[in-house]
Amino acid sequence: MTRDVAVLGAGMHPWGKWGHSFVEYGTAAARAALADAGVAWGDVGSIVGADTVRGGYPGYVAGATFAKALGWQGARVASVYAACASGAQAIAAARAQILAGLTEVVLVVGADAAPKGFFRPAGGDRPDDPDWLRFRLLGATNPVYFGLYARRRMAVHGDTPEDFALVKVKNAALGALNPYARYRKRVTAEEVAASAVVADPLRLLDICATSDGAAALVLSSVGFAHRHGVRRPVRIRAVSTVTPRFPNTVLDLPDIATDSAVAVEPPGETFRASVARAAYEEAGIGPEDLSLAEVYDLSTALELQWYEDLGLCGAGEGAKLLREGVTAPGGRIPVNPSGGLASFGEAVPAQAIAQVCELAWQLRGTAGDRQVAGARVGITANQGLFGHGSSVVAVR
Amino acid sequence: MPHTRTPAVAGWLDGEGEDFRLLGTRCSSCGSVFFPREDVHCRNPLCAGGALEEVPLSRKGHIWSYTDSHYRPPSPYVSNPELPWEPYALIAVELAAERIVVLGQAAPGVTVAGLAVGMEVEAVPGVLDEDAETARTIWHWRPTGVRA
Ligand SMILES: [Zn+2]
């Protein structure tokens, strides 16, 4: 029995700062995905929305919000929130419904309308909320954590700010080719080095912006895809949504401290590496099988970290892999052919879905100037606040 | 001049000067240490759970990593919008006895130029923000001058 689900359709609303509601972006992406799939909205049995915390109540019930905007048609509905992994958990929920035989076609939608500047916690006085505390007590914005990770890599692995800048150069060149990306201009290493320091050693062009954007997928059973006339659909083979294991010894957002390892030896791999390993195990593949990867480059330095966590190279070898061109277009394993978060800016609930959209287009061979030749197997990787991470494996 | 000093968060710090300490809790069953403090149940999944006792954390540790904040953080961080923003450093410090990494602001005047991973630092009392009546205190990390 197959554990695969088919990706029938993928759609996006372009990323940017458009000044509209997340509902407008999400329904545009949903309609694009339905058109791409050749499936009528009325034939969708279930809709799963990835929530946004920035749209008021409609954002917390995103599935219903999109269903109403598309026109109530009686589909079952779910809404999920998992910080940056929300989109992947929406895919996981859809996949579970299909594999359980509850429904054959599911529409997955994530959309956000982002604030200007730093992400900030919800309002009110909430000393029990770690996200509130890190801002209140330390002024520790997201880039502060990215800066800590980058400096740690410099100290432990010998990475340099020039290595980090090359990630931006690579991803900006790819984003320039992607009509859905917000930033479509090539960037030079000199421009990265000349941009303002945000959180030492990272500069403005090392850190991903926050964007408006939306992405949607139409998923179905493989049987439905065949009956629908799609003989070789892109298939999702694994969706990893595992949690960390105690003691988590990497300082993760939004925590002020790690777990203590004084009573229990830490696991042999980091949380991020465990997210990827679970995806590999579920898909029955390894890093050597990959044609491409879409990773969560919240900062340039984090992309290098993902190379290692995905097992594309050994610990500390990320910068070398980049410099050798292995992760560039034409390399052995191109990373972020979409242009990555560097070119999109983060639209939280849409981003993990957008990663899978890019896999779908690449595996179909319809990614245009960004196409990875002969792409057969792709992986996504993502990490968010509060112990969330995800990794999706798609094949064709 | 404010006339009372009160911790910015209750139960996390204690003492002044040489006696200043961060406060955590320790599980009486498995020995796991928690900061921020856990007061209800031990988070070690292998532990059936024991009483959680308040413990002072080591005052000194070594830098795990560091960075700084060149832009004014949003609320609920408190800063005077009428004054130009002054970047401050943040340090993540590994405490050997507790095997834990604790993030904090660096003491005023400490910049990233004077920091290195592995350098010894100590927890010292600092002021997060103050008004006419009250100074809210916080922990700062300050290099001891001892090289790793
Ligand atoms: Zn315990």
Q: Do A125 and B76 touch (CB under 8 A)?
A: yes
| Whether residue A64 is found in the same domain as residue A189 | no
Nearest to A257 among B10, B35, B45 (CB): B35
Q: How far apart are the first and last CA of chain B?
A: 39
First-to-final CA distance of chain A: 17
Percent of chain A with pLDDT over 90: 95
For the cut 70, the answer to whether the pLDDT of residue B148 exceeds it is no
The pLDDT score that the predictor gives to residue B147 is 52
A231, A254: one domain: no
Residue A116 has pLDDT above 90, yes or no: no
Q: How far is the CA of A138 from the centre of ligand 1 (A)?
A: 28
Question: In this structure, what CATH number is given to the domain that contains residue A49?
Answer: 3.40.47.10
Average pLDDT value for residue range A176-204: 98
- B146: pLDDT confidence band, cut at 50, 70 and 90? low
CA dist., res. A156 & res. A142, Å (int): 22
Count contacts between A and B (CB, < 8 Å): 145
Count the domains in chain A: 2
Residue A125 in domain: no
Is A35 inside a domain boundary?
yes
Q: Find the B57 Cα to ligand 1 centroid distance in Å.
A: 17
Taking CB atoms and an 8 Å cutoff, what residues of chain A touch B32?
A: 247, 259-260, 262-264
Counting every residue written for chain B, the total comes to: 148
Entry pTM: 0.96
**Residues B30, A196: C-beta atoms closer than 8 Å:** no
Task: Tell me how long chain A is.
Answer: 396
Same domain, A195 and A222: no
* Amino acid at residue number B91: I
Same domain, A228 and A162: no
Task: Calculate mean pLDDT across residues A158-171.
Answer: 98
pLDDT tens-digit series, residues A217-228: 999 999 999 999
Kindly state whether residue A152 falls inside one of the protein's structural domains. yes
The Cα–Cα gap between A160 and A162 comes to 5
Closest partner residue to B34 (CB to CB) among A132, A249, A260 is: A260
What are the domain boundaries of chain B?
A: 4-143
This complex has an ipTM of: 0.96
CB contact under 8 Å between B112 and A200, yes or no, is: yes
- Quick check: A2 pLDDT over 90? no
Residues A306 and A259 reside in one and the same domain: yes
User: What is the overall mean pLDDT for chain A?
Assistant: 96
Please, are residues B148 and B120 in contact by the beta-carbon 8 Å criterion?
yes
In terms of Cα–Cα distance, which of A378, A373, A390, A370 is closest to A170?
A: A370
Q: Are B103 and B92 in contact, with CB atoms under 8 Å apart?
A: yes
Q: What is the pLDDT of residues B95-116, one digit of tens each?
A: 999 999 999 999 999 999 999 9
Whether A232 and A244 map to the same domain: the answer is no
CA of B32 to the centre of ligand 1 (A): 6
Q: Are residues A261 and A316 in the same domain?
A: yes
Q: Which of residues 64 through 123 in chain A touch B, CB cutoff 8 A?
A: 117-118, 120-121
Residue A290 in domain: yes
Instruction: Give A346's DSSP letter.
Output: B
Are A53 and A148 contained in the same domain? no
β-pairing, A388-395 vs A234-240, is antiparallel
In tens, the pLDDT along A272-294 reads 999 999 999 999 999 999 999 99
Verify that A175 and A69 share a domain, yes or no. no
Q: Where are the alpha helices (DSSP H) in A257-395?
A: 271-283, 300-309, 318-323, 340-344, 348-364
What gap in Å lies between CA A291 and CA A371, rounded to an integer?
A: 11
Alpha-carbon distance A8 to A396, whole Å? 12
Sign of CA dihedral A332, A333, A338, A340: negative
Kindly report, residue by residue over B2-29, the tens digit of the pLDDT: 679 999 999 999 998 889 999 999 999 9
Residue A210, beta-bridge partner list: A346
Residue of B nearest to A142 (CA): B73
> How does strand A212-221 pair with strand A5-16?
antiparallel
Of the candidates B83, B84, B104, B85, the residue with the CA atom closest to the CA atom of residue B93: B104
> Of A139, A246, A251, which is closest to B77 when you measure between CB atoms?
A139
Taking 60 as the threshold, does the pLDDT of residue A215 lie above it?
Answer: yes
Question: Is the pLDDT score of A257 beyond 50?
Answer: yes
A121 domain-assigned? no
Residues A180 and A313 in one domain: yes
- The region, left, alpha or beta by phi > 0 then psi within -120 to 50, assigned to residue A34 is alpha
Q: Is residue A341 included in any domain, yes or no?
A: yes
Contact A258 B65 (CB under 8 A): no
Sorting pLDDT into bands at 50, 70 and 90, what band is B1?
low
Window from A58-67, A90-99, A119-128, A153-162 with minimum mean pLDDT: A119-128
pLDDT tens, residue by residue, A310-344: 999 999 999 999 999 999 999 999 999 999 999 99
Residues A20, A161, single domain; the answer is: no
Do A304 and A231 share a structural domain? no
Residue A245's domain comprises 130-206+239-395
> Taking a contact as any Cβ pair under 8 Å apart, which residues of chain A between 154 and 173 contact chain B?
155-156
